[in-house]
């Protein structure tokens, strides 16, 4: 936990489905924990609370964690995901990141 010497910061990404809106949401939350499993457990508990506070939102049970080097601060990397792909950059972005179906802003 946050006071222990071996704890670290983790960014944890959970995915939710908003049924009425017809959208999926990816949320990255920050946690101090002694291990990735502990951070994931804490994030999943929060994910359940998040769903209970909203109407027709479901946690789809997809979670990933990322150990942050040091403490979060300005410009700190809080989550990173690497994916192998032979796609050229424009196609990669259109396929995985900017499909045209995102709601931003």
DSSP state of 2: T
Average pLDDT over residues 92-103: 85
The predicted-structure confidence for 47-71, as pLDDT tens digits, reads as follows 999 999 999 999 999 999 999 998 9
3-state SS, 56-104, equals CEEEEEEEEEEEECCCCCCCCCCCCCCCCCCCCHHHHHHHHHCCCCCCC
- The two three-digit tokens of residue 10, written as one number: 């983790």
Q: What is the mean predicted confidence (pLDDT) over 31-52? A: 96
Residues 15-26 have pLDDT tens digits of 999 999 888 999
Q: By percentage, how much of the chain surpasses pLDDT 70?
A: 94
Q: With a cut of 60, say whether residue 1 has pLDDT above it.
A: no
Q: What is the pLDDT of residue 4?
A: 53
């Amino acid at each position: 936990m946050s006071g222990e010497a071996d704890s670290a910061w983790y960014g944890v990404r959970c995915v939710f489905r908003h049924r009425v809106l017809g959208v999926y949401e990816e949320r990255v939350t920050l946690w101090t924990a002694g291990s990735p499993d502990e951070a994931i457990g804490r994030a999943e508990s929060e994910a359940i609370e998040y769903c209970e506070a909203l109407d027709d939102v479901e946690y789809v049970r997809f979670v990933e964690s990322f150990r942050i080097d040091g403490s979060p601060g300005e410009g700190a990397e809080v989550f990173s995901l690497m994916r192998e792909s032979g796609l050229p950059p424009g196609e990669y972005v259109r396929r995985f990141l900017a499909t045209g179906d995102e709601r931003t802003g």
